[in-house]
């Protein structure tokens, strides 16, 4: 925005200065030249009067003295020619007179016509020396001419001086304009910059970031006031969310701990055939404890970074398939696990967070079990290809048409065909959000034969 302000203010200023400076430069150059030629015309008029008297009297002594003193004083050469066009004074007989242009002017003057004054020029180096020629009349007859060749060094230097002065004034004006624009831009953009800084502070978790009301022009005060109100509302909402998460995680830990204690008590009275079920229940309890710990850390603002330790997706998928098998069987659905592209040790290693991967896979399997008709099968596949690992959940339910696949991961989105099925529309959205924190993503496909394929793409770990 600062650059745009510079363009908006400085470009018109430069254009105005260029226009006014050009007009002033042209006027100054013309004024100096007109003043120079006016002086020359006045001087040559005086010499015409003296030369007429000298020509009529036949004596050149007085005129030669005047011409010599004038040349010594001003450096201007004045030559008087007779009717034949030759220097009339013996002292000027050896003078190198003029170029062809001056000779033409002499011939024009001896014919009784005055030559036109040179046209004014704009640039100093275009102002060159040009001779003025004035005829000498006696009555109606031309008896000679006066040729004046004046140096233009002085008027040319004056034009240069005027141009330098103009350049200095223009530079000062642009510098002053730049200073004004910088101060004005700083004054206008200061509240915008402070809004940006406050937004960054809020993004970093500093919910108390605010902006002073007296910042910037009055027109932006309302924006600052609304921002501060918005920040206060965000702080209240986030505070309530943190309180709810803290309360929920704390209150859930107590019944979970009590439930695990009851499991331990029940396990003491069961024979060894129940050991796998008891251990599975313990593992689910431990997993819930890890989830609550993570929720509690987020609520406290600790914002723990997800782990990127290598985990075996085959083992993870086996645990989650085993945990969901009873729920799937209750709906008449079979769960099958497949492995593709595993290493020599039969593992598929991914550098990701185990809790996040488990939670995302749970959300996807939950959706598949919920929408799969009785008597069908859900295939869960752990695979690796190149630098990516995949957890593939493929069901044979109603599936989704191509135009609805792009919305399936939106929060609270439900297909019109499955609104009667209980659910909140959050499963795929939660899986998508969880995987985004570990550089992973969810891909949805409509496979041949119907149903839906949900692929969790995870980063691979180490060498295969």
DSSP β-ladder status, 349-351 and 310-312? antiparallel
At residue 143, the pLDDT reads 84
Task: Provide the token pair at 3.
Answer: 């650059």
At residue 98, the pLDDT reads 63
Rounded-to-integer distance, Cα 36 and Cα 54, Å:
27
At residue 464, the pLDDT reads 47
At residue 299, the pLDDT reads 59
Rounded-to-integer distance, Cα 251 and Cα 258, Å:
12
The strand pairing partners of 378, in sequence order, are 335
pLDDT in tens, 298-314: 556 555 566 778 889 99
Cα dihedral across residues 352, 356, 362, 364: positive or negative: negative
Rounded-to-integer distance, Cα 68 and Cα 76, Å:
9
Q: In sequence order, what are the residues at sequence separation of 6 or more whose Cβ sits closer than 8 angstroms to the Cβ of residue 381?
A: 337, 338, 339, 340, 390, 391, 392, 394
455: left (phi over 0), alpha (psi -120 to 50) or beta: beta
pLDDT < 70 positions in the chain? 1-2, 5-6, 90-98, 116-129, 213-216, 250, 294-306, 412, 414-425, 463-464
At residue 216, the pLDDT reads 66
Rounded-to-integer distance, Cα 322 and Cα 243, Å:
35
The strand pairing partners of 245, in sequence order, are none
Cα–Cα distances in angstroms (integers) from residue 170 to residues 20, 27, 124, 365, in the given order: 10, 16, 19, 75
Backbone angles phi, psi at 190, to 5 degrees: -55, -45
Task: Provide the token pair at 406.
Answer: 């792009």
At residue 62, the pLDDT reads 76
Rounded-to-integer distance, Cα 394 and Cα 371, Å:
12
Are 270 and 278 in contact, with CB atoms under 8 Å apart? yes
DSSP reduced 3-state for 81: strand
Are 159 and 127 in contact, with CB atoms under 8 Å apart? yes
This prediction has a pTM of 0.50
At residue 91, the pLDDT reads 63
At residue 334, the pLDDT reads 92
Rounded-to-integer distance, Cα 32 and Cα 181, Å:
36
Task: Provide the token pair at 110.
Answer: 């001896």
Cα–Cα distances in angstroms (integers) from residue 128 to residues 102, 120, 125, 372, 426, in the given order: 13, 11, 7, 100, 88
At residue 456, the pLDDT reads 92
At residue 393, the pLDDT reads 92
**DSSP sequence for 404-453:** HHTTTTSTT---GGGTTS---S-HHHHHHHHHHTTT-EEEEE--TTSS-E
pLDDT in tens, 26-64: 788 878 877 877 888 888 888 888 888 888 887 777 778
- The burial of 4, by beta-carbon neighbours within 10 Å (0-12 exposed, 13-18 middle, 19 or more buried), is given as exposed
Task: Provide the token pair at 118.
Answer: 């040179």
At residue 215, the pLDDT reads 62
Rounded-to-integer distance, Cα 464 and Cα 261, Å:
42
Rounded-to-integer distance, Cα 354 and Cα 316, Å:
8
Are 147 and 89 in contact, with CB atoms under 8 Å apart? no
At residue 337, the pLDDT reads 92
């Amino acid at each position: 925005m600062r650059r745009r302000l510079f363009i908006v203010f400085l470009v018109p200023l430069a254009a105005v200065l260029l226009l006014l400076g050009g007009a002033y430069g042209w006027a100054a150059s013309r004024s100096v030249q007109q003043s120079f030629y006016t002086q020359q015309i006045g001087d040559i008029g005086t010499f015409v009067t003296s030369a007429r008297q000298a020509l009529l009297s036949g004596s050149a002594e007085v005129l030669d003295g005047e011409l010599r003193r004038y040349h010594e004083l001003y450096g201007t050469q004045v030559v008087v020619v007779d009717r034949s066009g030759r220097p009339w004074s013996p002292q000027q007989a050896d003078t190198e007179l003029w170029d062809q242009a001056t000779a033409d002017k002499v011939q024009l003057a001896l014919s009784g016509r005055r030559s036109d004054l040179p046209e004014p020029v704009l640039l100093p180096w275009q102002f060159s020396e040009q001779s003025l020629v004035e005829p000498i009349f006696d009555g109606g007859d031309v008896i000679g001419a006066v040729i004046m060749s004046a140096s233009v060094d002085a008027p040319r230097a004056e034009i240069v001086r005027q141009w330098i002065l103009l350049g200095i004034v223009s530079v000062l004006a642009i510098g002053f304009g730049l200073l004004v624009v910088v101060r004005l831009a700083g004054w206008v953009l200061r509240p915008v910059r402070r809004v940006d800084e406050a937004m960054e502070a809020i993004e970093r978790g500093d919910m108390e970031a605010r902006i002073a009301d007296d910042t910037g022009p009055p027109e932006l005060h309302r924006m600052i006031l609304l921002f501060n109100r918005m920040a206060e509302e965000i702080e209240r909402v986030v505070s309530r969310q943190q309180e709810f998460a803290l309360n929920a995680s704390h209150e859930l830990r107590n019944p979970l701990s009590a439930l695990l204690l009851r499991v331990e008590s029940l396990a003491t009275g069961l024979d060894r055939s129940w050991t796998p079920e008891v251990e599975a229940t313990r593992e689910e309890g431990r997993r819930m404890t890890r989830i609550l710990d993570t929720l509690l850390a987020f609520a406290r603002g600790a914002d723990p970074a997800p782990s990127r330790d290598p985990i075996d997706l085959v083992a993870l998928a086996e645990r989650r398939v085993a945990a969901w098998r009873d729920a799937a069987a209750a709906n008449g659905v079979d769960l099958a696990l497949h492995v593709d592209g595993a290493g020599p040790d039969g593992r598929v290693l991914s550098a990701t967070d185990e809790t996040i991967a488990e939670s995302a896979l749970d959300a996807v399997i939950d959706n598949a079990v919920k929408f799969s008709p009785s008597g069908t099968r859900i295939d869960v596949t752990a695979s690796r290809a190149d630098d990516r690992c995949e957890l593939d959940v493929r069901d044979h339910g109603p599936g989704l048409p191509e135009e609805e696949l792009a919305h399936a991961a939106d929060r609270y989105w439900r297909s019109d065909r499955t609104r009667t099925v209980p659910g909140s529309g959050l499963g795929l959205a939660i899986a998508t959000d969880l995987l985004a924190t570990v550089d992973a993503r969810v891909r949805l496909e409509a496979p041949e034969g119907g149903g839906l394929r949900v692929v969790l793409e995870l980063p691979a770990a180490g060498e295969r």
